[in-house]
Amino acid sequence: MLIVVPKQGRAIDRAEMLKFMDGKIARWWMPDDVQIVAEIPHTAAGKINKLKLREDFKNYTFPTV
């Protein structure tokens, strides 16, 4: 899964993001899904807070094809 924060004033969706990456990265690197979030949580030290992300997405299931 790829977590994306769109630029301010821009809207983006899953299909648009996957289409953008198609042909630019290896096929096996393509994410299975894209999640759009308002912001990525950071720790007090400025690092990405992976524990918070795991908590936010603990009930996430990949879409069926």
Delineate the domains of the chain, giving CATH numbers in brackets: 2-56 (3.30.300.30)
Judge whether residue 65 has pLDDT over 70.
Answer: no
- Mean pLDDT, range 12-33, rounded to an integer: 92
Is the distance from CB of 53 to CB of 39 less than 8 angstroms? no
């821009």: which residue's tokens? 10
Q: What is the pLDDT of residue 64?
A: 77
Secondary structure (3-state) at 63: coil
Token pair belonging to 1: 């899964």
Q: Which burial class, exposed, middle or buried, applies to 53 when counting CB atoms under 10 A from its CB (0-12, 13-18, 19+)?
A: middle
Judge whether residue 30 has pLDDT over 70.
Answer: yes
Q: What is the pLDDT of residue 62?
A: 85
Token pair belonging to 30: 């393509």
pTM for this prediction: 0.77
